Amino acid sequence: MNLRPAVALCLLLLLSAAAGAAAAPPDSLLGVSLVSGKGGPALSVPMQIVILLTLMTLLPAVIMSVTPFLRIVVVLHFLRQALGAQSTPSNQVLVGLALFLTLLLMQPVATEVYTQGWAPVERGEVTLAQGFENGSKPLKTFLIRFAREKDVRLFLEVAKAPAPRSPADLELRVLVPAYILSELKAGFQIGAVLFLPFLVIDLVVASVTLSIGMIQLPPVMLSAPFKILLFVLVDGWNLVVGSLMKSFY
């Protein structure tokens, strides 16, 4: 499996957290002065290590926030709560499933980021700033597809940025938080819909137990097996995961 596109996408996402990279002067990188080297300005090895470790600490948050991982993991947690299974599947299983689904969805974007941004930088054809600008275009296209206009307008006002002439002119500092809000809204909407059939089962079971005088028996204990049985009979995992994946195409 070729990991270069995924690595290139991660690097681009990390660099987007420091949006000033594209506008930095030639003798600096992310605001850090460069030292002279044989091939031109370069960072000293200790400074490279410090910057790399700092960026790596942001990697989990970036992956969770600026990819389909956000919507998928929110929906899966809502589904587990709707089923009444508080710890099954475990958090590790849900996060692992969300991560692999995210890798599957983001592979085309990661490939474009690598081809347009990182590969020319590796070959020395463009500078790092130019590579960042070229590589950010596929990511912007992906974010624009799912960021709501209302959320984009909100962060344009917060950032006090002028209205762009076209969606492609939006900056990542505006697109990223707008995308996160939009994905949270979409995840909660899907979660609310998932709750409805299981809520009906809870209401029916609670009404039956009260009508026959079983007041001391929690209705949740009786409704949980029926909800799990219904979910298995309709092949719920296939339906939920399939619908989630199709919502990104």
pLDDT at 146: 86
| Listed ranges 25-29, 54-58, 186-190; the one with the highest mean pLDDT | 186-190
Higher-pLDDT residue of 13, 24: 13
Q: Give the pLDDT confidence of 214-233 residue by residue, as tens digits.
A: 666 676 777 778 888 888 88
The answer to whether the CB of 98 falls within 8 A of the CB of 69 is yes
- Band the pLDDT of 26: cuts 50, 70, 90: very low
| Cα dist from 130 to 32, 109, 110, 149, whole Å | 18, 18, 17, 28
Q: Give the pLDDT confidence of 101-146 residue by residue, as tens digits.
A: 988 888 888 888 778 777 776 777 777 777 777 777 888 888 888 8
Encode burial over 160-182: b for 16+ CB neighbours within 10 A, e otherwise: eeeeeeeeeebbbbbbbbbbbbb
Decide if pLDDT at 87 tops 50: yes
pLDDT at 40: 47
